[in-house]
Amino acid sequence: MARIPGLALTDHTFTVPLDHERPDGPTIEVFAREAVAPTKVDEDLPWLVFLQGGPGSASPRPTSGSGWLERATREFRVLLLDQRGTGRSTPVTRRTASSMEPAELAAYLKYFRADSIVADAEFIRGQLSPGKPWSTLGQSYGGFITLTYLSKAPEGLKACYVTGGLAGLDATADEIYTRTYPRAKAKTLRYYRLFPEDVAKVRRIADHVTASDVRLPNGDRLTVDRFQTLGFGLGMSESAESLHWLIDEAWDGDELSDAFLYGAMARTDHTLNPLFVVLHESLYGQDDRPTNWAAARMKPAEFAPTAEPFLFTGEMIYPWMVEDLGGLRPFAEAANLLAAATDWTPLYDPTVLAANRVPVAAAIYHDDMYVDANLSLETASRVGNVTTWITNEYEHDGARTSGGAVLDRLIQLANDLPPA
């Protein structure tokens, strides 16, 4: 057991089947870190499993028991789960990709979606909380996983808290981007209202990278398409300010500055979380509907690099990423196979969800750039025993930036619902 300010931490590693339908087949490791208030280490506390946003991101590495963790550990023993393929859970990396043929890699990656993550969680519950259901906190993609959990193993759940993550139960990838491109435009225009001088500054950079072979410190080319993805964070708190300061220091004479190039590289490189790119659109792949690089197909003409004003994109994934980003090239052929796949397993069961009795409290961020609020409300109307809190006080990262206030509100709301 390790101790940091406000937390006692214990590491757990579990060996689980790659395919839970074949328990005697290949295995992978899944890692999770237990966090508890130091004064409650020996208490019999209920479990709260944190389901990280993503896909492809490891669970938080806490440095103290502050923020939402401080609120959670008042009454829970928290499990920070590295979803399979991330962090210390048999990570999927460019080395993984380089060791497999494209078809083999594509087949392997299909085992890293929400249904497999839920099966891992149930396996782990059997080890840590046998016979007792536990609660979950799902941030963004973690909310998608929550809906899969409620569909496939509701008996394992006592209560669910969701922050910015009520997915459309049957929304296609095409519908998702039809809804989210306008939100990316709105966030870009808000950024320009805050910093009107940046309209011309951004245009200058866009024209420069279009006309020149600009190289990032890792050797990748900074194309205008990649520059456009700097808008990914505009749906988070203070991200407009952060982008402004990057643009403000973009030039060193007639060339782009090292500070800008290093900053742009860090914000647009996915080498450390390749699943985010390779599996992102598969979140919306169900049954026989291929995603077919939906974000690229649905991109409106007003997002063309020559359009005025220059609009940044949001949480959109494009086929050029697996060609232009050096860390993702080993995934290119497999990613194209996944984009064409028509054999996706269903992630949600509308019938089971409609009859749900597990208390679910969900924060829906009215201006959410990533998860459409209207689609979230539609989902809430189709799931039993759900209460929602609609707010524009926070951006998509409200659970993290609110200092525990969002989680506290959801716990109170769930406590008012009928128990499962």
Assess whether 140 carries a catalytic annotation: yes
Catalytic residue among 24, 42, 254, 343: 343
DSSP state letter for 366: T
Catalytic residue among 89, 135, 396, 397: 396
**Can you say whether the dihedral through the CA atoms of 63, 64, 68, 69 is positive or negative?**
positive
Assigned token pair, 370: 């990533």
CA atoms within 13 A on the CB side of 62: 30
**134-139: strand order across its sheet:** 2-4, 7-17, 27-36, 77-81, 47-51, 134-139, 157-163, 360-365, 386-391
Query: 238: left (phi > 0), else alpha (psi -120 to 50), else beta?
Result: left
Task: Give dist(CA 354, CA 251) in Å, integer.
Answer: 55
Catalytic residue among 140, 282, 376, 402: 140
Task: Give dist(CA 324, CA 385) in Å, integer.
Answer: 46
Helix (H, G, I), strand (E, B) or coil at 150: helix
Query: 287: left (phi > 0), else alpha (psi -120 to 50), else beta?
Result: left
Q: What angle do CA 319, 322, 324 make, to 5 degrees?
A: 100
CB 360 within 8 A of CB 385: yes
**Can you say whether the dihedral through the CA atoms of 90, 122, 403, 2 is positive or negative?**
negative
Q: Note the maximum CA span of the chain.
A: 66
Catalytic residue numbers?
A: 140, 343, 396
